């Protein structure tokens, strides 16, 4: 997948617009997302391994929310499914769905950094 | 119309949501406090004074439902408006929260215009409700003043803030206060008159007692003897 397929540009641009075009603050948000998401990805996998459905639901919920706000819509949809599995206690399905979660997240992180880089170079 | 600014408590366990909401709300002129979970939110609500709570639902330990339940069971805070923060795919939670007394909901990701509109509407409703509560409290103060008047322990300055209102209730407060002051002043004048009369009566009584003694035969005899003794001494 190319960065533009991983991050929905309209959503990303909409977020920047909502921030009044403040690229620095957008950068802070992206950095916070990149700093907090690996823990959430690991938390999802640990919760599945421990059979802890409520923790799975909460971690997937947060990751979904943050990812969707930056336009990582496919990844957010994957998190949404995991959240639902956590809610219903379908841990076997969650196990299958989360198999490549860390790899997908790594793609999202790289694409997001690329989008931020582009936004920083674009005239306000 | 001027937009109302408020003190808003944002409760969300996800740092990105807290950052975005804080930024958006402060840009709109509100004062923002942040709580990272339900427990911290309840502590802050006990310690501080807020106009509105923006509440996430899914949180560890004490979730949004629990925070909402405790707020609505607390007579001192049950009128504090709560807007639930929620993704559009969680409508069942939103419906449950509104059934529990939440004022409204705010979908994630946040739209600043929608945020402004919902916060503004909520704060305006709170302002009107606060005004109504204050009005009823002041009406109760006037009726309590009437009872105090009857019991004789009315203090005129107890209605100062009611009398300061610019509306009809304020006029009632002012009229009541003025009439009460007149009644109190008249009572005090009457008391003074009674006091003065009592002194006059006492003095008249003393004079009458003195006259009674000086006009008695015994007193006359004593006076005559005193006269005789003076003559003897003078010779």
Contact A36 B16 (CB under 8 A): yes
Taking residues B64-75, what's their average pLDDT? 95
* In-domain check, residue A32: yes
User: What is the CATH number for A86?
Assistant: 1.20.120
pLDDT at B64: 94
- Whether residue A124 is contained in a domain is answered as no
Contact A60, A44 (CB under 8 A): yes
Cβ B68 vs Cβ B86: under 8 Å: no
* Partner residue opposite A32 with nearest CB, options B15, B89, B111: B15
pLDDT at B214: 85
- Cβ of residue B26 closer than 8 Å to a chain A Cβ: no
Nearest CA in chain A to B15: A32
Name the band, by pLDDT with cuts 50, 70 and 90, for residue A39.
very high
> Are the beta carbons of B23 and A33 separated by less than 8 Å?
no
pLDDT of residue A112: 96
Q: How confident is the model at residue A123 (pLDDT cuts 50, 70, 90)?
A: low
- Domain of A74 in residue numbering reads as 3-119
Domain boundaries, chain B: 7-131, 155-235
Q: Which residue has the higher pLDDT, B34 or B163?
A: B34
Contact at CB, A18 and B110, closer than 8 angstroms: yes
Let me know: does B8 contact B50? Beta carbons within 8 Å.
yes
Q: Is any Cβ of chain B less than 8 angstroms from the Cβ of A46?
A: no
Handedness of CA B123, B125, B131, B136 (dihedral sign): negative
Percent of chain B topping pLDDT 70: 100
pLDDT tens digits along B172-220: 888 888 888 888 788 889 999 999 999 999 999 998 888 888 888 888 8
Is the bond preceding B109 in cis, omega lying within 30 degrees of 0?
yes
Number of domains comprising chain A: 1
Phi and psi at B234, nearest 5°, equal -75, -25
ipTM: 0.87
Q: Which is more confidently placed, A68 or A1?
A: A68
A54 pLDDT above the threshold of 90:
yes
Tokens of B125: 């409703």
Q: Is residue A100 part of a domain?
A: yes
**Pick from A11, A104, A98, A100: nearest CA to A60:** A98
Say yes or no: B20 contacts chain A, CB-CB below 8 A.
yes
Phi, then psi, of A98 in degrees rounded to 5: -95, 5
Structural domain includes residue A36: yes
Which residue in the set A28, A55, A62 is minimally distant from B14, CB to CB? A62
Residue A14 lies in a domain: yes
CATH superfamily, region B7-131: Response regulator (3.40.50.2300)
What distance in Å separates the CA atoms of residue B123 and residue B53, rounded to the nearest whole number?
11
Eight-class DSSP state of B81: -
pLDDT bracket for residue B42 (50, 70, 90): very high
């Amino acid at each position: 997948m190319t960065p533009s397929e991983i991050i929905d540009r309209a959503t990303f641009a909409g977020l920047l617009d909502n921030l009044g075009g403040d690229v620095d603050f957008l950068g802070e948000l992206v950095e916070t997302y990149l700093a907090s998401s690996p823990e959430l990805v690991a938390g999802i996998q640990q919760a599945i391994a421990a059979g802890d459905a409520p923790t799975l639901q909460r971690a997937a919920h947060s990751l979904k929310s943050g990812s969707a706000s930056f336009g990582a819509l496919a990844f957010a949809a994957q998190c949404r499914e995991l959240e639902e599995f956590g809610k219903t206690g379908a841990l076997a399905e969650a196990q299958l769905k989360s198999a490549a979660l860390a790899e997908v997240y790594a793609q999202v992180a790289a694409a997001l950094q690329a989008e931020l880089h582009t936004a920083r170079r674009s005239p306000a | 119309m001027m937009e109302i600014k408020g003190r808003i408590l944002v409760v969300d366990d996800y740092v990105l949501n807290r950052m975005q909401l804080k930024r958006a709300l402060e840009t709109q002129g509100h004062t923002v406090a942040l709580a990272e979970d339900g427990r911290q939110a309840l502590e802050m609500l006990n310690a501080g004074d807020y106009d509105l709570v923006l509440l996430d639902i899914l949180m560890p330990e004490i979730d949004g439902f629990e925070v909402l339940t405790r707020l609505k069971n607390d007579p001192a805070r049950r009128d504090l408006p709560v807007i639930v923060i929620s993704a559009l795919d969680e409508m069942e939670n939103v419906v449950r929260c509104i059934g529990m007394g939440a004022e409204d909901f705010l979908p994630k990701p946040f739209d600043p215009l929608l945020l402004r509109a919902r916060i503004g509407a909520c704060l305006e409703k709170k302002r009107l409700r606060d005004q109504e509560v204050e009005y009823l409290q002041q009406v109760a103060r006037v009726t309590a003043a009437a009872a105090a008047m009857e019991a004789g322990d009315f203090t005129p300055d107890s209605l100062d803030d009611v009398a300061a209102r610019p509306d009809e209730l304020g006029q009632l407060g002012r009229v009541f206060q003025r009439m009460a002051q007149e009644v109190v002043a008249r009572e005090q004048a009457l008391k003074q008159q009674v006091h003065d009369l009592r002194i006059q009566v006492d003095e008249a009584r003393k004079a009458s007692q003195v006259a009674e003694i000086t006009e008695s035969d015994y007193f006359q005899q004593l006076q005559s003897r005193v006269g005789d003794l003076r003559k003897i001494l003078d010779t």
